[in-house]
Amino acid sequence: MSNSRGYRGENRRGNMQQRSGERYSARKRFEMYLLFMCILLVVNMFFLMKVQIQLKGMNKSLNQVMAVLATARQDAEDGMIVASQEEVTSPQYQSAPKKPAEPVVSKEPEEVDYVELCGLPQVDKPVDRKPAQVLSRLEELAEDNEVIENIRQNYTRYPEEMLGALANNPEMADFVSNYLSSDAKASGAGLTRAEKSQEFPLFLQWDPRWGYAEYGDGSNVGLSGCGPTCLSMVLYYLLGDESLTPDVIADYSMENGYYMSGTGTAWKLLEDVADMHGLTVWQPKSSEWTLKNELDRGSVIICSMKPGDFTAGGHFIVIYGYDSEGFLINDPNCVARSRQKWTYDEIGRQIKNTWVYSGGTGKIYKDSEKDSRK
């Protein structure tokens, strides 16, 4: 009988161990199930976020396409209205003699004033940025500029130097955007009527008329041609020669070794080209009195600038006058800074070297006009 009780006890212990093992297995399966569900949930959340980002981009692209289609549709409707109005004629009850056709006068292509078109009220001080900082700055500028937003989305197609220049000066947006176009080459167009009407017109180095012309180490006038552009302005002011555009001087510089690889335009170009065209050029020590005295005599001045308000590396500007508020400058890289008047305290410490130009047949060399430049 004792053997029977022992057997039953062992049987109960075995059953308890079996049930305990089953509960442990069930708990492990439940834990594995929970882990699998958590992983699946995380994957789904990641997938949904990716889809949301893609939908946002598609929505933006769709809005742009719809805007283009709406504009095209409106243009087409306007064209149909004009055509229908031309086809409607008043009823005639008898034939009338036809008037001779008037000669068709071809209209000249509309001139584009890039100074007015691209100029901004203010441009921040230039900064030397790393590639990641450039993209971050472009993202900030793109919030208010669709052209820059399109450039940012396709940034891998543009040279780093060009993106860096745009980050420092959003006035260049159209120039950079059209860089990828098949028409991105110097047009060879001459000066506009607006420029010819001004005594000291501003030439922008990134003006499409010459900005895409090759210059420097795989670069162009728009990015590296501040020297030739300043010299072009001075020659026009003093000689009135419209043919000496920035790309022409840039070509001469490259062909005759005035561009120094890794450095930029050699200072000798600013002397030799002026001398070739009969101008007098000298390099005085910069001071407020010297600059004003030379401007009073009818001269114009090119300055090489240190890093500061005008450049993060090196740059050339033109000083063509002064008044009670400061010096009048033409910065070939920036409309906003060209519209600002600068005191000598502001620019004097940034001037590295100075070239004073005089002579020639330009109107600013006439003695009767000296006082108008004060």
Express each pLDDT in 40-76 by its tens digit: 887 777 777 766 666 655 655 555 545 545 555 555 5
Using pLDDT thresholds of 50, 70 and 90, give the confidence band for residue 37: confident
Q: What value does the mean pLDDT of the chain take?
A: 82
Q: What is the pLDDT of residues 97-125, one digit of tens each?
A: 444 445 444 444 467 787 888 888 999 99
Q: Assess whether pLDDT exceeds 70 at residue 127.
A: yes
Cβ-based neighbours of 357, under 8 Å, separated by 6 or more: 234, 238, 274, 279, 280, 281, 299, 300, 301, 302
Query: Percent of the chain scored above 90 by pLDDT?
Result: 60
Using pLDDT thresholds of 50, 70 and 90, give the confidence band for residue 34: confident
Cβ-based neighbours of 189, under 8 Å, separated by 6 or more: 209
| 1 token code pair | 């009988």
Query: Percent of the chain scored above 70 by pLDDT?
Result: 73
Q: What is the pLDDT of residues 221-254, one digit of tens each?
A: 999 999 999 999 999 999 999 999 999 999 999 9
Residue 318 resides in a domain: yes
Counted domains in the chain: 1
Q: Assess whether pLDDT exceeds 80 at residue 185.
A: no
Residue 37 resides in a domain: no
Q: Mean pLDDT across the stretch 155-167?
A: 97
Element spanning 185, H or E: none
Residue 48 resides in a domain: no
Q: Assess whether pLDDT exceeds 70 at residue 297.
A: yes
Task: Name the pairing type of β-strands 326-330 and 315-323.
Answer: antiparallel
125 vs 95, higher pLDDT? 125
Which range (25-34, 204-213, 221-230) has the least confidence? 25-34
Phi, psi for residue 244 in degrees, rounded to 5: -90, 65
Expressed as residue numbers, the domain containing 303 is 185-373
- Calculate ∠ Cα 13-19-24, nearest 5°: 125
Q: Of 363, 9, 79, whose CA–CA distance to 196 is shortest?
A: 363
- Residue 319 has what pLDDT? 99
- Residue 113 has what pLDDT? 81
Using pLDDT thresholds of 50, 70 and 90, give the confidence band for residue 7: low
Which range (31-45, 274-288, 291-305) has the least confidence? 31-45
Q: If you write DSSP's letter for every residue of 215-258 in order, what string do you get?
A: -SSS-BHHHH-HHHHHHHHHHHHHH--TT--HHHHHHHHHHTT-
Cα 324 to its chain centre, rounded Å, is 33
Residue 267 resides in a domain: yes
Q: Assess whether pLDDT exceeds 70 at residue 148.
A: yes
- Residue 18 has what pLDDT? 67
CA distance between the termini of the chain = 132
- CATH of residue 317: 3.90.70.10
Q: Mean pLDDT across the stretch 261-290?
A: 95
From CA 337, how far away is CA 125, in angstroms rounded? Answer: 10
Residue 128 resides in a domain: no
Residue 104 resides in a domain: no
Element spanning 202, H or E: none
